Amino acid sequence: MDKINELTDDLLVKILSFVPATVAVSTSILSKRWEFLWMWVPKLEYIDYNDMTVANRSRSSYLDFINKNMSLRRAPIIESLLLGFYIRSLQPEDLKVWLGIAVSRCVRELSINYSSCSEEPDLVLPTSLYTCKSLVTLELEGRDVLVDMMFLLRFVSLP
């Protein structure tokens, strides 16, 4: 028996939390034991700044992957969510849905790096994010992320 199979499921989930979501999901084909482990990973990382990479695997299929992946998560708490995109076909509405899921799963750390083409609409953070009691770290990057300063001043849990 190989050493990795001697590890507990909790430890395997911890290990999977250090790789991007696409890699974690791909481990589901390794064996029956690994089939659903990725669903319990509490750290989510969806990063793709290279438009060419996305074009090769289809922009819409990557966004579909994220939509399905986020909704299939079973971890009751999202420890961290990292979203980094420069995708022409990404709509702010997609990000609002993902942030809504994150808030409903008591996200603790959130990092968003969003840059769109000039003709794309800006990302306006949903008000549910400003009242999220579990959020302790918020990092925003990109010229296209709009923050409501009145809400930001009343942020519930940020230090």
Q: What is the pLDDT along the chain (159 residues), one digit of tens a residue?
A: 588 889 999 999 999 999 999 999 999 999 999 999 999 999 999 987 665 454 555 667 778 889 999 999 999 999 999 988 766 666 778 888 899 999 999 999 999 887 766 566 677 788 888 888 899 999 988 767 777 776 666 665 665
For residues 130 and 45, what is the distance between their CA atoms, to the nearest angstrom?
21
Asked whether residue 2 falls in the same domain as residue 54, the answer is no
- Its pTM stands at 0.83
Q: Which domain holds residue 110?
A: 42-153
Asked whether residue 118 falls in the same domain as residue 70, the answer is yes
Asked whether residue 2 falls in the same domain as residue 15, the answer is yes
Residue given tokens 């299939």 in the structure block: 72
Asked whether residue 50 falls in the same domain as residue 100, the answer is yes
Q: In what order do the strands lie in the sheet with 80-85?
A: 43-48, 80-85, 109-114, 137-141
For residues 95 and 101, what is the distance between their CA atoms, to the nearest angstrom?
10
Asked whether residue 76 falls in the same domain as residue 129, the answer is yes
Tokens of 3: 């050493």
User: How many beta carbons lie within 10 A of that of residue 91, not counting itself?
Assistant: 14
Q: Number of folded domains in the chain?
A: 2
Asked whether residue 68 falls in the same domain as residue 144, the answer is yes
